[in-house]
């Protein structure tokens, strides 16, 4: 039996759910008998005494507890067989349980190649461990012999030598099955003659096989020269090999490098866009124009807002008060920011700002900006002035064309200070 759709429960793991369902199985087993129950992660194995109909009713009752936690059963009723992990369990004609090795039909032969950069002892122990697994799982000797032959074929396909195959399988056959089935108990924390020091290094087939004897020879010489070293290091050091980098590790990194920005001409231009102060206004803060454009020396204006609509206009070009060539600008009073003025100039921004300052100071009512400042009670100190678009054109007629287009686009005649088109 296996759990299905357990991931829908969020943080509830399959192990917790399976353990909870174990207790539920014992409670539901009053209509039939559950004699045995074991679990590995979300796969469960049990012995059920009852008919097929009673078992299906038992599974349906467990699945009715929670729709998001469902059990599935995989039983071959015709052959009286069930698969659990890597083992096939059957009930013979006399009622005894028989076990056999199970391999998926689509399983690929991916055993470690002897030609790989591993210590030869690894491939030799691979043959022994696979053969011992067959000895442990297969309950009949006839079945085990058949699985040994299949294992030998798989090993030959992976270019294992006949001597290694024969030695590993023969060594596993020599182990009694009763001993192979015993649980291996590791002795932790017991002193078995002192601490074992290890030299951890990458395996290299050219020199690593001789490393163990080299360490032992040097250890014996060291102890012979100074007996105190034998008390400090009672055991000779042993090499411990780790796998070196292969082609996959060199070509495919487990950790991807950070994404780097590609600096193209357009991206570099966008990075430079903005309104800044000139050198005079930046160092000594004595430029009268820069103090109106930005509030502090290190400020860079990237966008300007149309307060009537809330639209933000990106600054196009690197502009300061000394920028030469045509440009478009927005002007408004900090006391009445909802109405703004859009204009253009072919001269430097500081020259155009000076003209507006003089018009406001002299109260020229024939000028739209000066009249608006007078009506709102604003002064020169309330003036805000932001150039927002640099136009590489020295033709005043083309500049007026861009200004009229912007006035229409942003509806500056109805929503702003502009009276007429330029």
Domains in the chain, ordered, with CATH?
A: 2-73 (no CATH), 267-415 (3.40.1440.10)
For residue 69, what pLDDT band results from cuts at 50, 70 and 90? confident
For residue 285, what pLDDT band results from cuts at 50, 70 and 90? low
296 three-state secondary structure: coil
Cα–Cα distance measured from residue 386 to residue 305, given in angstroms and rounded to the nearest whole number: 10
3-state helix, strand, coil in the chain (%, to 5): 40, 20, 40
318 three-state secondary structure: strand
* Higher pLDDT pick, 350 / 421: 350
pLDDT at 16 over 60: no
Whole-angstrom CA distances from 264 to 77, 261, 271, 273, 371 are 68, 9, 11, 14, 46
Cα–Cα distance measured from residue 321 to residue 128, given in angstroms and rounded to the nearest whole number: 83
Residues 6+ apart with CB under 8 A from 176: none
State percent of the chain over pLDDT 90: 18
pLDDT at 340 over 50: yes
Element (H, E) at 345: strand 340-345
Contact yes or no for 92/138 (Cβ under 8 A): no
How does pLDDT run across 230-257, given as a tens digit for each residue? 888 888 899 988 888 888 888 887 777 7
Cα–Cα distance measured from residue 235 to residue 191, given in angstroms and rounded to the nearest whole number: 12
């Amino acid at each position: 039996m296996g759990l299905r759709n357990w991931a829908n429960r969020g943080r509830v793991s399959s192990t917790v759910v399976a353990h909870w369902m174990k207790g539920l199985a014992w409670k539901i087993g009053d209509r039939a008998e559950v004699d045995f129950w074991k679990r590995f992660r979300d796969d469960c194995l049990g012995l059920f005494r009852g008919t097929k109909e009673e078992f299906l009713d038992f599974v349906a009752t467990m699945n009715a507890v929670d729709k998001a936690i469902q059990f599935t059963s995989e039983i071959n009723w015709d052959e009286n067989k069930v698969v659990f992990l890597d083992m096939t369990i059957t009930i013979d004609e006399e009622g005894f349980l028989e076990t056999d090795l199970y391999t998926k039909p689509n399983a690929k032969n991916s055993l470690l190649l002897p030609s790989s950069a591993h210590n030869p002892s690894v491939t030799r122990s691979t043959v022994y461990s696979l053969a011992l697994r067959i000895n442990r799982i297969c309950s009949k000797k006839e079945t085990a012999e058949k699985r040994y032959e299949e294992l030998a074929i798989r090993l030959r396909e992976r270019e294992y030598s006949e001597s290694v195959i024969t030695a590993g399988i023969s060594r596993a056959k020599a182990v009694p099955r009763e001993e192979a089935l015993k649980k291996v108990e590791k002795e932790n924390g017991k002193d078995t003659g002192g601490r074992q020091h290890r030299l951890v290094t990458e395996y290299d087939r050219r020199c690593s096989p001789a490393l163990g004897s080299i360490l032992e020879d040097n250890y014996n010489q060291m102890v012979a020269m100074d007996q105190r070293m034998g008390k400090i290091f009672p055991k000779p050091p042993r090499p411990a090999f780790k796998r070196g980098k292969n082609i996959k590790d060199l070509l495919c990194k487990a950790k991807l490098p950070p994404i780097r920005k590609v600096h193209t001409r357009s991206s570099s231009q966008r990075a430079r866009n903005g309104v800044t102060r000139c050198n005079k206004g930046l160092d000594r803060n004595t430029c009268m124009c820069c103090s109106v454009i930005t509030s502090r020396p290190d400020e860079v204006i990237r966008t300007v807002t149309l307060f009537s609509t809330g639209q933000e206009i990106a600054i196009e070009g690197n502009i300061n008060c000394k920028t030469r060539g045509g440009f478009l600008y927005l002007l408004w009073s900090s006391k009445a920011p909802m109405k703004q003025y859009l204009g253009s100039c072919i001269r430097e921004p500081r020259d155009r700002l000076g003209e507006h300052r003089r018009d406001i100071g002299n109260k020229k009512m024939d000028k739209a900006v000066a009249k608006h400042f007078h009506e709102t009670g604003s002064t020169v100190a309330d003036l805000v002035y932001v150039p927002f678009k640099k136009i590489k054109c020295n033709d005043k007629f083309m500049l007026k064309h861009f200004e009229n287009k912007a006035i229409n686009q942003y509806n500056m005649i109805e929503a702003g200070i502009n009276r007429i088109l330029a």
